[in-house]
Amino acid sequence: MSTRDRVAAVVGVGHSDWVSDWHRVRAGERPDDCYGYAASAFRNALADAGMTRDQIDGLIVGPTTAYERMAEVLAMNVRWGDQADAVLSVVQACMAIETGRADVVALTYGNDQRSVGTQYGGPQAMGGDAFLSYIYHAPWGMTSQGALYALMFRRYAELNGITERDLGHVAVAQREGSSRNPNAIQRKPISLEDYMAAPYITEPLRLFDYCLINDGGVALIIAEAGLAKRLSPRPVFIEAVGRYDLNAGATSLEPRLTDFYRPAQQAVAEQIFGGTGLDPTDIDVLQVYDSFSVHVPLALEGYGYCGVGESGKFMREQGIGLSGRLPTNTSGGHLSESYMQGWNHQIECVRQARGECGDRQIADCRRVHYTSDVAGKAVSIIYGV
């Protein structure tokens, strides 16, 4: 898909009340389950789009919910449906629209991970039987993604000279964005000194390098481009998508420790930039899947926003905050806004492109690049107006 062939556009976005539910869960309540959170987000997305449920003929649900049950809860009988994660759900919606399987596709996600006590580390870590790295490295205590990314950053830092203080620019910049975001859970600004004073969780990663764990839901509505122009006065187009997988060694540490996902990112960069006539200078805002802060400097290098080994200098001197050269994760991302496994980033992409972000709005924003890289799979979307 290229900028000259806009197949689909986002016409509606919505989410649950992350902040209220965060406080309620911490008080011992269980406000909803994953289906309820997704349903709340879907209602808000419909309202945002000014649409009715009957105008939707496709449905993609996040992997935290069963497709059949989610469709039942939403009372939707669609002619095409699927299940996918945040970034691939957008790609699949575009594919369904382009091939005529659907005209308007709803994407829904709900997660009650905090209220049900989902474990992302330890011997009972969620996905331990599926993500084989948990099994292979358990004898050494490597039973969490935090441990894996700590080792990854340690080697990357030794090879490239980036320091822990350099990495702190990620958390500080994202907290700047969340401090101006009424939907963010963590809104208190932090400084580099605050970051350095925070305790290690898995050295060299500190408290502020880790994402939140909270309940919530997200929904998007994506329509065929021509229809989107009729449905919405402010459609945000999917201008380009790209994907490349590093499957060799994907269940072990290899893709993390050898080239830090860079070959996959560079291949995707060629798809979304080289194949469209765009380049990194055309991007106004970058959104990076950030279960850990480490993802951000690797993406800066992998997609050509700076040279290999130069991300520390780029963040120090040019900046990734709201007034920096490349504003990144402007809502606060997973570290400070909400951990919705990449779904909340899609909403921020749309709102920045629409110009709806208030005090954190990036002036003259026309294109936003979202990227994720997990276990060697790199996927990107460029949103534009």
Give the confidence band of 127 by pLDDT, cuts at 50, 70, 90: low
8-15 vs 58-61, strand pairing mode? unpaired
Q: Are 380 and 242 in contact (CB under 8 A)?
A: yes
The answer to whether residue 129 scores a pLDDT higher than 70 is no
State residue 128's pLDDT score.
52
In-domain check, residue 136: no
Residue 216 covered by a domain: yes
- pLDDT beyond 90 at 85: yes
The H or E element containing residue 225 is helix 225-231
- Please check whether residue 194 lies inside any domain of the structure: no
Inside any domain, residue 176:
no
Q: Please check whether residue 301 lies inside any domain of the structure.
A: yes
CATH number of the domain where residue 310 is located? 3.40.47.10
370 inside domain: yes
- Residue-number span of the structural domain to which 80 is assigned: 8-116+212-384
> How many domains does one find in the chain?
1
Residue predicted with more confidence, 45 or 258: 45
Q: How far apart are CA 225 and CA 160, in angstroms?
A: 43
Residue 181: inside a domain: no
pTM of the model as a whole: 0.95
SS3 331: coil
The pLDDT score that the predictor gives to residue 260 is 92
3-class SS letters over 118-184:
CCCCCCCCCCCCCCHHHHHCHHHCCCCHHHHHHHHHHHHHHHHCCCHHHHHHHHHHHHHHHCCCCCC
Q: Looking at residue 5, what is its pLDDT?
A: 66
Residue 164: inside a domain: no
Could you tell me what percent of the chain has a pLDDT over 90? 84
pLDDT digits (tens, 9 = 90+) for 318-328: 999 999 999 99
Strands (E), the chain: 8-15, 58-61, 80-83, 104-111, 200-202, 205-206, 216-224, 236-245, 285-288, 367-374, 377-384
- Mind listing the pLDDT tens digit for each residue in 291-312? 999 999 999 999 999 999 999 9
With bands split at pLDDT 50, 70 and 90, how would you rate the model's confidence at 1? low
